Structure 1
Amino acid sequence: MQGKLSAFLILFAAVLWGTTGTAQAFAPENAHPIAIGTIRLAVGGLFLLSLVLLFGKFELKNWPIKATVLAALSMALSMALYQPLFFTAVTVTGVAIGTVVAIGSAPILSGLLEWIFFKARPSKIWWVSTFLSISGCILLFTNRESTYVDPVGVVMALGAGLTFASYTLASRDMVQKFSSLNVVAIIFTISAIFLAPFLFIFDMSWVASLQGIGVSIQLGVVATGIAYFLFAKGLANVSSSTAVTLALAEPLTAALLGVFLLGESLNTTAWLGIFLLIMGIAILIGSSRAANRKNKTAVRATL
């Protein structure tokens, strides 16, 4: 039950991430994408930090400072780099190619990193589900008009995929040792500090409008604070490679919201992509459930 619940927590987090594109569509016209990403981390970090202070669960004395600082800095840097890399990739090479390369490469890179650093070879089920999910993602985004491939944009997108995979890998180790809320609060606060210089580079006047405040709260509180807390909770019992594949529910959510809220249309190929995405995610959740049953049986046999 625990493995299945963790998978659903990550899935729900991905659904919340999928609302970011729709939220950005409602942002004021003078809001630069990188400025939106910066505000997203700032609001998310403050929200999570407020929760920690409110519930009084932060106990730094129990954390090994050296190991914690190194892990926290690597996670925060990964998350801080993801924002400008992803938004720049989308700007340079278009939404379709940028999103497919960034989101599609993340599960593969995560599986490789997990294999290299933790000697945990991905299972056959993971390869099948990841192949189906990435194929679905590619088919889904062939619906978009932008098909221009820019080498610089592709490299930026791969960088975004690598930073997300790195964040997930480091995060899993942290949330298994410490409170998930404490971990994400520290990481996103540091990430926001890393991106703080962008607040002085781009026009931030849009944040003061009612529209800007609404978008900032949605992106910061819902799509960042709550989403990454759920993601961290789920990571405690799910491998990083599986978690990143489940996160492919993000483009699925974004596409469906585009249809139902923004009036976008999907062709037959895109709907096929949605079907493959759902199939890949369902296989992973099913495998988590089967693995949990197997572990329970093994435990009972030893009693």
Structure 2
Amino acid sequence: MKFMGLGLVILAAICWGISGGIADILMDKGWDPIVISLYRGAVGFICFFVWFLLSFRQNRDISTRTWIWSLVAGVGVAGNFTFYFLSIEASSVAIAATLMYTAPVFVLFISFLLRLEQSTWFKWCCIAGVLLGIILLTGAYNTESISVSFLGILAGLAAGLSYALFIFGFKNASSHGTPPTTLTIAFFSFCLILIFLTDKGEAAAVLTSKDLGLFILLGILGAGLSFLLYVNGIRKTTPANASMVAMVEPVTASLFGVLVIGDHLNIIQMLGMAVILVTITTLSVKQAN
């Protein structure tokens, strides 16, 4: 049972990593990142709505708190998808995926400021380690020839904070409602938010383009299937183990970017990526314990 849970979480993380590569391919074809985000979430919403209908008897009673926290989760996932794709556009799949996984450290820092978390040397060392990794990964140590644009860095970190908001909203919503209900409401609010931000003409053009299949594949892997796998996997394993194996996503995204798309990472960037992943994994395990 334990290994089945780990396997499901690993599969979900692999799906998320591949979805970043698919989005990069679509952006290279000229599609707007917000339009790509909209379709990723919309296909996911369809999957979750079907799940909701199939288990309607267990999901009939929806509390006010479930609605509120699910809407918060929807705002988080909208920001996560959009900023993640903007970061890919401005940098690369590998860098964007790694920056997104700095979320736990920034949440920890905010918790210090709000006195929600006790400050310790270990936690400050984790923050310092991630900042060092970001500097190495983005080339910020050499201001004259920085390898990643400021927009790419900012969008990647914003994706991480949005990811944390989604997790926070989903955790609170799941304590009051079922996963099908919370995910359906979250992704419905996601679609409402992005429909107002996206280019309506370009969004409509997707339906008649030859890239429609890629958009559908992106939505199935990056939202529908991946979240179904993750929600069911997390029930069968511990949070610590789930935190560790979730690191498969940036690794998968990096390999996809290098092998399929042709991204290039130098030795220093690879070292920075390793520092971030090791630090976040250590922090996640420690916090879970």
User: Which band: TM-score by shorter chain?
Assistant: 0.7 to 0.9
Q: Can you list the C-alpha shifts for 1:78-101, whole angstroms capped at 9, x where unaligned?
A: 22233444444555x644898379
For the structure 1 residues 109 and 284, does the alpha-carbon distance in structure 2 shift closer, same or farther, using more than 3 Å as the test? Answer: closer
Q: Is the partner of 2:239 in helix, strand or coil?
A: coil
Contact 1:235–1:243, Cα closer than 8 Å, also in 2: yes
1:67, distance to aligned residue in structure 2 (A):
1.3
Q: State the match for 2:73 in structure 1.
A: 75
For the structure 1 residues 117 and 149, does the alpha-carbon distance in structure 2 shift closer, same or farther, using more than 3 Å as the test? Answer: closer
**What is the percent sequence identity of the aligned residues?**
22
TM value normalised by structure 2: 0.73
Structure 2: distance between partners of 1:30 and 1:102: 24
Structure 2: distance between partners of 1:98 and 1:123: 29
Contact 1:101–1:154, Cα closer than 8 Å, also in 2: no
Q: State the match for 1:107 in structure 2.
A: 104
| Gaps in structure 2 of 5+ consecutive residues | 140-144
Q: Is the partner of 1:42 in helix, strand or coil?
A: helix
Q: State the match for 1:238 in structure 2.
A: 239
Q: Is the partner of 1:266 in helix, strand or coil?
A: coil
Q: How does 1:150-189 map to 2 (within 5 A)?
A: 157-189=156-188
Alignment of 1:29 onto 2:29: yes
Structure 1: distance between partners of 2:121 and 2:5: 20
Q: Can you list the C-alpha shifts for 1:10-40, whole angstroms capped at 9, x where unaligned?
A: 5543332111232124337242111111111
Alignment of 1:20 onto 2:19: yes
Q: How does 1:35-54 map to 2 (within 5 A)?
A: 35-54=35-54
- Number of residue pairs matched? 281
Structure 1: distance between partners of 2:23 and 2:65: 36
1:118, distance to aligned residue in structure 2 (A):
9.7
Q: How does 1:112-151 map to 2 (within 5 A)?
A: 112=109, 119=116, 121=118, 135-136=132-133, 139-140=136-137, 142=139, 146-149=147-150
TM value normalised by structure 1: 0.70
For the structure 1 residues 24 and 12, does the alpha-carbon distance in structure 2 shift closer, same or farther, using more than 3 Å as the test? Answer: same
Structure 1: distance between partners of 2:101 and 2:166: 16
1:42, distance to aligned residue in structure 2 (A):
0.6
For the structure 1 residues 17 and 279, does the alpha-carbon distance in structure 2 shift closer, same or farther, using more than 3 Å as the test? Answer: same
Structure 2: distance between partners of 1:11 and 1:120: 29
Q: Is the partner of 2:150 in helix, strand or coil?
A: coil
For the structure 1 residues 36 and 130, does the alpha-carbon distance in structure 2 shift closer, same or farther, using more than 3 Å as the test? Answer: same
Structure 1: distance between partners of 2:229 and 2:114: 25
Contact 2:19–2:221, Cα closer than 8 Å, also in 1: no
Structure 2: distance between partners of 1:120 and 1:7: 28
Root-mean-square deviation (CA, aligned residues, Å) is: 4.3
For the structure 1 residues 138 and 55, does the alpha-carbon distance in structure 2 shift closer, same or farther, using more than 3 Å as the test? Answer: farther
Structure 2: distance between partners of 1:229 and 1:54: 14
Letter in 1 for 2:194: L
Contact 2:243–2:284, Cα closer than 8 Å, also in 1: no
Contact 2:25–2:261, Cα closer than 8 Å, also in 1: no
For the structure 1 residues 262 and 119, does the alpha-carbon distance in structure 2 shift closer, same or farther, using more than 3 Å as the test? Answer: same
1:134, distance to aligned residue in structure 2 (A):
6.5
Letter in 1 for 2:193: F
Structure 2: distance between partners of 1:284 and 1:12: 22
Structure 1: distance between partners of 2:281 and 2:161: 24
